[in-house]
Amino acid sequence: MPWRGRSTGQADADDRSDGTERVIERVLYWIGLDNADPPRPADFARMKQIDGYLVKLGGQLWKIPLIRQPTDSGAPGTHLPCDVEFGWDGSSWQTLKAEYLDIWERAGRCFDLVCAGVQSQDGDGVLLRKFAFDCLSLNYRVGPAEINLLKLLDNEAVGEVVDEVVDVGVGMKFLEEILSKKNGTPPE
Q: Residues 6 or more apart from 63 whose CB is under 8 A from it?
A: 41, 45, 49, 51, 52, 53, 54, 139
Q: How does pLDDT run across 10-62, given as a tens digit for each residue?
A: 444 344 455 555 555 545 556 667 778 888 999 999 999 999 989 999 999 99
CB neighbours (10 Å) of residue 1?
A: 9
Q: How does pLDDT run across 71-104, given as a tens digit for each residue?
A: 666 556 788 999 999 999 999 888 889 999 999 8
Domain ranges within the chain, ordered by starting residue: 1-38, 40-183
Judged by DSSP in three states, 62 sits in strand
**So what's the pLDDT on residue 135?**
92
Helices (H), 27-100: 41-44
Q: Residues 6 or more apart from 143 whose CB is under 8 A from it?
A: 137
Say what the pTM is.
Answer: 0.70
